[in-house]
Amino acid sequence: MKDSLLHPDRFFDPDPQVRGCARDVYRHIKDLPIVCPHGHVDPRLLAFNKPFPDPAELFIIPDHYLFRMLYSQGTPLEELGIPTSDGSVVERDHRKIWQRFADNFYLFKGTPTSMWLQYEFTEVFGITEKLTRGNASHLYDILQEKIDSPEFLPRALYERFNIEVLSTTDGPSDTLEFHREIRESGWKGRVLPCFRPDVLFKVASTQWQGTIDSLQQVSGISVIDYKSFIAAIENRREFFKEMGAVSTDHGVEIPWTHEMTATEADSLFRRALSGTATAEDEALFTAHMLMEMARMSIDDGLTMQLHPGSYRNHNSAVFDRFGADKGCDIPVRTEFTRNLHALLNKYGNDSRLTLIVFTLDENTYSGELAPLAGVYPAMKLGPAWWFHDSLEGMIRYRERVTETAGFYNTVGFNDDTRAFASIPARHDLCRRVDANFLARQVCRHTITMDDAMSIARALTYDLVKKAYNV
């Protein structure tokens, strides 16, 4: 095999002074434990601790970053083995899927996916050949041999990656049985649930009554009005917290917050129970429930995450055939200053609340989010996320928020991934970006080298542990 394709100075500035400084800062943080406060790894993976089936199942099928690119270039998702909603037949020969991936690997040049995959191949699996059409089958065999070995079982990788804590994302009526299995297995890895109640707020959806039925069943509370609905949610939050949860997560298209009176909320909720709630009702109810989620977080201490600005399942054909989370969520322009005014004015000055706000709209970094986080003690800025968890996106994030919000009103990095093996690659990219950003400031004499070292540790480890209370 050839020498490693990963250059030791990758992502660092070509200026030799900055590059040398970045190396020193990076060495200071590169081996710190990984904290994953937000992601979508299936807890069954670590509960069962079985070998990954094969390279296609490990790299391609669970990672929409990867298969969405191939789809955009005309490869049907069926040919990549992506399961359909109706269970109809898709490609079952995973070696063929891997070959299609290798044939089109050039498409990822210059993308974060390419950076992550090369790290995974080299650092995780010890493969230093570049994946090509010609060596695809050979590399598939090498990968298969490795993932069949005990050293590549999920829990072994968790420990080798030096993960300190990993949070999943779970529905409000989830029984968390796999989290319980992990806890009762005696394994020392920390895998925490995260409470995501979005489906409970979609009162105009035809599936909403089913979510209420599930909520009643798991909470043991009969939901007959708004008051009992709130009691059921509080019951579930308490259960999640008992199971180790430290946060909630809320994905909304618009971060509008507005508080209704108890009478108004109950009236709207009764319309929902009768099946007559409108889209306008749903928007108003969601705005009100974000206020309620902040109130509950003050009461129970769960960190509140807000992920707005996504037009979910934009490609209807893909959604209808393959379901959600297939890479077809598209960013939309987002307004924060007015939309968050009600929530921040009521709860933003309360030090008991930690509200982490993310964005897909980079235009809001310097104009809205950084100024808001620079004023309200409860609000912190989530990292460059999703379409921006890339080399250039991370750089822009640091450049646009630091002058106004500083470093300490941010909360480190999260990988937001379902692709378990990519976790160290994503964190390594962020650590290198932060090291280089701080090195540039040192070389401009904006901060000292001692400052850079302490800030680097904070960005990598301290701030995320504080924000999520882990």
**Residues 132, 105 contacting (CB under 8 angstroms):** yes
Which pLDDT band holds residue 2 (cuts at 50, 70, 90)? very low
pLDDT tops 80 at residue 3: no
State how far the Cα of 160 lies from the Cα of 212, in Å rounded to an integer. 41
Report the CATH number of the 16-50+153-468 domain.
Answer: 3.20.20.140
Buried b / exposed e across 124-147, counting CB within 10 Å, b at 16+?
Answer: bbebeeebeeeebeebbebbbebb
If you ran DSSP here, which 8-state letter would residue 367 be given? I
Element (H, E) at 289: helix 279-300
CATH class of 51-150: mainly alpha
State how far the Cα of 57 lies from the Cα of 43, in Å rounded to an integer. 16
**Lowest mean pLDDT, pick from 201-210, 300-309, 321-330, 441-450:** 321-330
Quick: pLDDT tens for 245-268. 999 999 999 999 999 999 999 999
- Distances from the Cα of 305 to the Cαs of 7, 108, 224, 466, in angstroms? 35, 30, 28, 14
- The predicted pLDDT at position 4 comes to 59
Where along the chain do its domains lie?
Answer: 16-50+153-468, 51-150
**Residues 459, 291 contacting (CB under 8 angstroms):** no
**Strand order across the beta sheet in which 379-381 lies:** 247-252, 303-308, 355-357, 379-381
223 torsion bin: left (phi>0), alpha (psi -120 to 50), beta (else): beta
Which pLDDT band holds residue 1 (cuts at 50, 70, 90)? very low
Calculate mean pLDDT across residues 139-147: 97
Tokens of 461: 């480890």
State how far the Cα of 139 lies from the Cα of 238, in Å rounded to an integer. 47
Quick: pLDDT tens for 365-384. 999 999 999 999 999 999 99
- Distances from the Cα of 418 to the Cαs of 43, 117, 177, 206, in angstroms? 10, 14, 19, 28
pLDDT tops 50 at residue 432: yes
